[in-house]
Structure 1
Amino acid sequence: MTRIAVIGAGFGGIAVAHLLREAGFGDVTIYERADDVGGVWRDNTYPGCACDIPAPLYSFSFALNPDWSQRFPPQDEILGYLRRCVDAFGLRPSLRVRAAVDAAAWTGTAWRLTLADGSTAEYDILIPATGQLSRPVVPPIPGDFAGRTTHTAAWDVDVTGKRVGVIGTGASAIQLVPAIADVAAHVTVFQRSAPWTLPKPNRRYGRVRRALNRSFPPLMRAARAGTWLLTVVTGRAVTGRPIARRFVRTIANGQRFVQARRLRPRVTPDSAMGCKRVLFTSDWYRTLRKSTVDLVTADIDRLTPSGVHTTDGASFACDVLVYATGFAATEFLVPMAVTGSGGRRLDDEWRDGAYAHLGIAVPGFPNMFLMYGPNTNTGNTSVVYFLEAQARYIVQAVRAIAAAGPMRVRAEVAGAFDAEMQRRLATSVWTGCHNWYRTDAGRVVTNWPGMASEYAARTARLSPADYEPA
């Protein structure tokens, strides 16, 4: 029997474990370092946390949910959905929680895992599904702050009646600030760069809609197809199609013009649309105009015991400081130490930046397949679509290994794919971007340069010629 280890119990780990079991591979163990499933939807509990992809698409195609309460569901509903999926798929017996994997080493015939408690276990297949958004980043700002600090991915504060400083204006800040603006005494937002935004057309799903979903599942599939078509339009804009790009930019500029008013010069992006994730919001600019909210665009110079000092000489008093500064998206699998054939360390292989064939397979690391690996992040559609494509590809790989023994991707195949990714990313919208997603070597290792449909087509069928015996 083929023994399979999946590391991580978020969307990716759940998808691949389920599809493997559906394909007849029953010996699957899911290792989760925390005490519950859910990944980012378990960890991120800050006020206002919700999905920015419509619910019909932000769910498994094989487990559509009839009971979403709204088009853009909040964090607790998504976490509940994932918990129900684990139970419905029968994965609970395969799940090991509070089981952090410190190291994985290829022995020549199997992967030996070393857990944080010192125990070891061996598996034929290793599938890291730790994601790109699991390690919060706190920037090294000089100085010392005497008040409470937190990251949006580790929310543990009550901001009622407090003066709150929020560092960052990315996806978490754009949800958090409107959610706390009316309960905090004052909110000061420190912006490094203004994001591109589009209106968020949220709506409630009432009892009638939910009942129809349950009694007539094709309605859910139709909603999913419609949402997919909408992301095609935004995807064309992000990947540089002129007509779609002008159309989406017009909507974004119109929203800013109507809602921002005197703030317009400070909230107008200075980068091309698509350099960073386009954010969906209907209340960001209105919130920034409130008398209890300040937007600061000067760079932060240092922290002081009482707050934040900026490079223009101003000081801002804070009781609570929130880092809405995202994740170390370019540091895949850290801190797990992975060693492949001949003692080759993965961090040495990725010294200049992570790469993998189709974002899944790394040369020199047999029988290891990544979920949400390098260059598989999407800037416009649901990452769940990518995860399902990867999981189906991995099922094919496991079948091949079960039939013929260990295999590894050919170095020239992975190298050619990586060269293609870097070439396409360098000649697209990314050309004029800042270095938010680049490694120190200047490589973009997170994002996919094309449409989601292209990725699905390229992963639909595993080519045996891409691999060699290990």
Structure 2
Amino acid sequence: MSATTTRQTRKPTIAIVGTGFGGLAAAIELRRNGFDDLIIFERSDEVGGVWQANTYPGAACDVPSPYYSFSYEPNPQWPRRFSPQAAILDYLKDVATKYEVRPHIRFGTEIASAVFDDTTTRWTLRTTAGDTVEVDIVISAVGQLSRPSWPAIPGREAFRGESFHSAQWDHSVDLSGKRVVVVGTGASAVQFVPEIQSKVGKLTLVQRSAPYILPRLDTMYSALHQSIFRRLPLTQRAERATWWAVTESLLVAFLYSRPLSRAVQSVSRAHMRRQVRNPDLLRKVWPDYPVGCKRTLFSSNYLPALVQPNVEVVTDRITAITADAVVTADGTSHPADVIIYGTGFAASDFLAPMQITGSNARDLRSQWTDGAHAYLGISVPNFPNLFLMYGPNTNLGSGSVVSMHECQARYIRQAVQHIAATDSPIAVKPEAEAEFDAKTQAKMTNGVWSMCNSWYRAADGRVAANWPGTASEYRWRTAKFDPAAYERVPAVATLGVDDLDEPTVMSGR
């Protein structure tokens, strides 16, 4: 019996790479709809993605937990409105167990490459250990924030003290009384700086650009709160809906409404002025770009940490690192025992370091030399039966990416149902993807995210990370799988001895 005939009698085999929110969302959606021939690869020894990897002091989500969770799996036991990393990781562990995803996971297994075979129309995945697995469908859920970004600073390797990235926090390093230089003032630094400030001897914060800060309306959920959430689930859903409305309003402000944007900026200004009375320091920490251009951060303890006498905020760029100091452009040498890099992630390097090879030996990185782009952030031309979770242009400037993951998981499930029903691999049509990308980038041309440098933008200025609309708009766009945007990918017939003088033919299925 041929491989093609065998495939007609069973559901497609599916590989998912990654077990963060995206990977679990895809796995749960598929299992709930009868697609349980799943192999899930996780390079770590536990589920959680960034919430398993990032353990720096103060690590937490800047989206309220009732919204930063699966809509179908509310958690009445959240300890706080803005829950810490450990609580989010516990939630993901519990979800993986409850929805019986764990038996499908191969922990400690990293995928090095995925190659599509035009003859069998199947994917071969190779692990870094050299093992191979063949499947019909591949879903990448490696995310945008999984690979730390290290700055290219001359002399970085020459530093003789301790140094590490915030995403790879070295808990064995005792910061007590040390001279610590923090490079970067993004979301991670805003959380860990207040946690370490009182422990270190001197903290030098080297800021490339300042973030807008809004008050963090955090609260501890008491046993009474949790009891009410458990007994009256509608109360937690009401809080979820409230925060959905708040974050959607912020997106509307950033994208569509200048008056609303000015109002958000005024709130931030008032909050920051209340916490920073020193005019010179306020000038340093006040952003010089439009609100929303970079992710607006929520914190009530970051700025109070900066006004402490053992903290210095430096705004000159770093020109070099020596054996025991960081040197800035003004010629000042800042002594350091420890350097902590809060420099974010290689967000625009999608799917890396995996090597992805599609039909006709098409290399994904070569296809993306002009920047990553995908239809709805999910499908890429020339790569049949490959789907992306949290792909290009699906991040949110405000809101919960978990809601985006749910949209993507539903859309991919519908695509899988179509593949199973027609027994044929599919790839998005190049013209459909090109039209989608052109419209997406057109919205960015004069949009707020094109007005400054941030991790939202690739090196060439292309905004490759963010969705140019609200989460509600994305939900509407992905609500129903559109077969007309895709084309069937028939198997390429192999050539026998008698066929050498014949043209290669395409065999339909």
TM-score, L = length of structure 1 = 0.98
Structure 2 CA distance, aligned partners of 1:47 and 1:439?
Answer: 29
- Deviations along 1:157-178, whole A, 9 cap, x unmatched? 3312221110000000000100
The residue that corresponds to 2:494 in the other structure is none
The residue that corresponds to 1:455 in the other structure is 474
The residue that corresponds to 1:92 in the other structure is 102
Residue 440 of structure 1 and its aligned partner are, at CA, apart by 3.6
Which residue of 206, 217, 226 corresponds with 1:190? Answer: 206
The residue that corresponds to 1:284 in the other structure is 302
Change beyond 3 A, Cα 1:172–1:464: same
Off by >4 Å, runs of 4+ in structure 1: none
The residue that corresponds to 1:246 in the other structure is 262
Q: Is the contact made by 1:55 and 1:72 (CA closer than 8 Å) also made in structure 2?
A: yes
The residue that corresponds to 1:272 in the other structure is 290
Residue 276 of structure 1 and its aligned partner are, at CA, apart by 0.9
Structure 2 CA distance, aligned partners of 1:326 and 1:139?
Answer: 10
Higher Rg: 2
Gaps of 5+ in 2: 1-10, 490-509
Give the secondary-structure state (helix, strand or coil) at the position aligned to 1:261: coil
Q: Is the contact made by 1:352 and 1:439 (CA closer than 8 Å) also made in structure 2?
A: no
Structure 2 CA distance, aligned partners of 1:437 and 1:11?
Answer: 20
Change beyond 3 A, Cα 1:315–1:155: same
Residue 442 of structure 1 and its aligned partner are, at CA, apart by 2.9
The residue that corresponds to 1:415 in the other structure is 434
Residue 340 of structure 1 and its aligned partner are, at CA, apart by 0.4
Which residue of 304, 321, 326 corresponds with 1:303? Answer: 321
Does residue 207 of the first structure (1) align with residue 223 of the second (2)? yes
Which residue of 154, 161, 166 corresponds with 1:147? Answer: 161
TM-score, L = length of structure 2 = 0.91
Aligned residues: 470
The one-letter code sitting in structure 2 at the alignment partner of 1:382 is S
Residue 435 of structure 1 and its aligned partner are, at CA, apart by 5.6
Residue 430 of structure 1 and its aligned partner are, at CA, apart by 2.6
Change beyond 3 A, Cα 1:211–1:436: closer
Does residue 115 of the first structure (1) align with residue 133 of the second (2)? no
Residue 106 of structure 1 and its aligned partner are, at CA, apart by 0.7
Structure 2 CA distance, aligned partners of 1:312 and 1:281?
Answer: 30
Q: Is the contact made by 2:450 and 2:461 (CA closer than 8 Å) also made in structure 1?
A: no
The one-letter code sitting in structure 2 at the alignment partner of 1:432 is M
Moved more, 383-392 or 108-117: 108-117
Q: Is the contact made by 1:238 and 1:380 (CA closer than 8 Å) also made in structure 2?
A: no
Q: Is the contact made by 1:271 and 1:434 (CA closer than 8 Å) also made in structure 2?
A: no
Moved more, 195-204 or 259-268: 259-268
Does residue 385 of the first structure (1) align with residue 403 of the second (2)? yes
Q: Is the contact made by 1:106 and 1:339 (CA closer than 8 Å) also made in structure 2?
A: yes
The residue that corresponds to 1:325 in the other structure is 343
The residue that corresponds to 1:5 in the other structure is 15
Q: Is the contact made by 1:3 and 1:124 (CA closer than 8 Å) also made in structure 2?
A: yes
Q: Is the contact made by 2:347 and 2:455 (CA closer than 8 Å) also made in structure 1?
A: no
Give the secondary-structure state (helix, strand or coil) at the position aligned to 1:169: coil
The residue that corresponds to 1:438 in the other structure is 457
Structure 2 CA distance, aligned partners of 1:51 and 1:438?
Answer: 22
- Deviations along 1:31-87, whole A, 9 cap, x unmatched? 001111111001111111111000110000011111011100000000111000000
Percent of aligned positions with the same letter in both sequences? Answer: 48
Residue 314 of structure 1 and its aligned partner are, at CA, apart by 1.1
Taking only aligned residues, the RMSD between alpha carbons, in angstroms, comes to 1.0
Which residue of 367, 391, 411 corresponds with 2:385? Answer: 367
Does residue 46 of the first structure (1) align with residue 56 of the second (2)? yes
Structure 2 CA distance, aligned partners of 1:448 and 1:238?
Answer: 12
Residue 436 of structure 1 and its aligned partner are, at CA, apart by 4.4
Give the secondary-structure state (helix, strand or coil) at the position aligned to 2:386: coil
Structure 2 CA distance, aligned partners of 1:437 and 1:25?
Answer: 34
